Structure 1
């Protein structure tokens, strides 16, 4: 009887420890957001683009586009020529005082 309670206690303890694995205390994922990237041209389908520079959790620059119609988020290939051009245009338009999310056109 006591053995069963002990075993159940150990299982519950391990399960609780496993819940927080891969998350920081702030709830931010500690790995890259983009597993696969898209390099096909899709500029007219994009509503907005978010740029995430390399950090302690991910060594890669991540570019995530939200599509207009479906609101689906897609990771763009930062090495793709068209993506580089879009980012250059966005950075040129962005003023130092503007901290809003950038909308692609």
Structure 2
């Protein structure tokens, strides 16, 4: 009887470990890597509906700027070093200020 309890406890423990290891960090609100693999440097300012700025984090050393396009709602990563992107960020931050 005791051996059955030990075996059952081991199986339950292994199942819990397997489930917790298999959990997706993104589902927990944590992105384990950079969101932007490629960035857009062409001028697309008039197509932008909204902009999100993600500062450097433990998961990504880069500042990431993600624009959502009008109409298609497609998300595009912008090149933070492009002069026109810097202007878009300034406008975005000016509109956010109380």
The root-mean-square deviation of aligned C-alpha atoms, in Å, is 2.4
Q: Which runs of 4+ in 1 moved over 4 A?
A: 15-18
- The answer to which structure, 1 or 2, has the higher relative contact order (CA under 8 A, 6+ apart) is 1
Of 12, 19, 22, which residue of structure 2 is paired with 1:19? 22
> Who wins on radius of gyration, i.e. which is larger?
2
Structure with bigger helix share is 2
Structure 1 residues without counterparts, runs of 5 or longer? 1-12, 97-105
Contact conserved, 2:51 with 2:92, CA < 8 A, in 1? no
Question: 1:20 Cα deviation (Å)?
Answer: 3.2
Structure 2 residues without counterparts, runs of 5 or longer? 1-14
Alignment partner of 2:88: what SS? helix
Tell me how many residue pairs correspond in the alignment.
84
TM-score, reference length from structure 2: 0.71
**Partners of 2:73 and 2:43 in 1: CA distance:** 17
